């Protein structure tokens, strides 16, 4: 399995990639990673790559860190045909392959999928926050109203009831609500590394704000 996490700071953007390499394929993986580095060097903004082998006797996980000067340059290489060719060539070295990147921690709800890759360079943090509130608010309100009306968890310890409620809410968000929200607001949830259309930014923000006000008004009428 291969997982990746994006980190950005004031000087560069880095991608930390976790590879699970079967025993006996470590040397081949080193050669493959060297080819990956040579490929990345051809792209603007490349700084360096670091490779950390697995802890001896512990696991089969290798960590590769790829550094570029900006998220835009990193993304350019990530979407390149050269990288795709190398990934395909390295399939025999990986038991499975999954790509994810995170910055705020919410990108998993806003990631796009290409084949077996999940590319999670999400929209700006303020858009992520507003979109999550747009999805979360009606779920929490409906869940509270239904549970109260049916007496579900009535008399339970508050700490246990809150834990169960949070598990239910987060599950509904992850598998039902947020996939719908990201599709609905796809025109507005532009990845942070891309220049967004100001008119669409305003339109999306107004739509969400009005929708939240309307939902709040609706809940007030049925309380």
The pLDDT tens digits for 71-94 are: 888 889 988 999 989 988 888 887
Q: What pLDDT is stored for residue 61 in this prediction? A: 82
Q: Say which residue, 11 or 144, is predicted with more confidence.
A: 144
Q: How far is C-alpha 210 from the geometric centre of its chain's CA atoms?
A: 27
Q: Say which residue, 196 or 164, is predicted with more confidence.
A: 164
What is the chain's mean pLDDT, rounded? Answer: 82
For residue 118, list its beta bridge partners.
113
Helix/strand/coil percent split, the chain, to 5 = 50, 15, 30
pLDDT-derived band at 116 (thresholds 50, 70, 90) equals very low
Total Cβ atoms within 10 A of residue 217: 9
- The answer to whether 36 and 49 have CB atoms below 8 angstroms apart is yes
| Domains of the chain as residue ranges with CATH | 2-119 (3.30.70.100), 125-222 (no CATH)
The pLDDT tens digits for 143-174 are 999 999 999 998 899 999 999 999 999 999 98
Residue that the structure tokens 């007496």 belong to: 151
pLDDT at position 121 over 60: no
Q: What pLDDT is stored for residue 157 in this prediction? A: 93
Q: At 61, phi and psi to the nearest 5?
A: -95, 125
**DSSP, residue by residue, 21-40:** --TT-HHHHHHHHHHHHHHH
**CA distances to 20, 43, 99, 109, 132 from 120, in Å:** 20, 21, 8, 8, 16
pLDDT-derived band at 212 (thresholds 50, 70, 90) equals very high
Q: Map residue 222 onto helix, strand or coil.
A: helix
Distance CA 104, CA 107 (A): 7
The pLDDT tens digits for 17-38 are 888 888 888 899 999 999 999 9
Mean pLDDT lowest among 20-29, 106-115, 178-187, 202-211: 106-115
**CA distances to 137, 140, 213, 214 from 219, in Å:** 11, 11, 10, 9
The token duo for 108 is 């998993």
- The answer to whether 64 and 49 have CB atoms below 8 angstroms apart is yes
Q: What is the pTM of this model?
A: 0.57
pLDDT at position 9 over 50: no
Distance CA 73, CA 70 (A): 5
The token duo for 17 is 């990639």
């Amino acid at each position: 399995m291969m997982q990746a996490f994006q980190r950005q700071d004031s000087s560069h953007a880095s991608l930390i990639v976790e590879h699970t390499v079967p025993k006996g394929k470590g040397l081949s993986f080193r050669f493959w990673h060297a080819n990956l580095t040579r490929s990345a060097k051809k792209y603007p903004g490349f700084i360096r790559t670091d490779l950390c082998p697995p802890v001896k006797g512990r696991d089969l996980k290798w960590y590769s860190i790829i550094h570029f000067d900006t998220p835009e340059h990193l993304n350019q290489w990530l979407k390149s045909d050269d990288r795709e060719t190398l990934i395909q060539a390295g399939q025999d070295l990986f038991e499975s392959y999954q790509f994810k990147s995170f910055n705020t921690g919410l990108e998993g709800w806003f990631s796009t999928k290409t084949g077996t890759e999940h590319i999670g360079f999400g929209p700006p943090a303020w858009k992520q926050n507003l979109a999550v509130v747009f999805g979360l608010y009606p779920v929490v309100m409906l869940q509270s109203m239904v549970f109260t009306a049916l007496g579900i968890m009535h008399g339970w310890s508050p700490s246990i009831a809150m834990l169960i409620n949070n598990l239910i809410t987060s599950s509904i968000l992850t598998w039902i609500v947020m996939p719908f929200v990201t599709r609905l607001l796809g025109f507005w949830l532009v990845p942070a590394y891309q220049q967004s259309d100001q008119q669409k930014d305003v339109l999306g923000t107004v739509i969400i704000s009005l929708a939240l006000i309307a939902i709040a008004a609706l809940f007030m009428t049925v309380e």
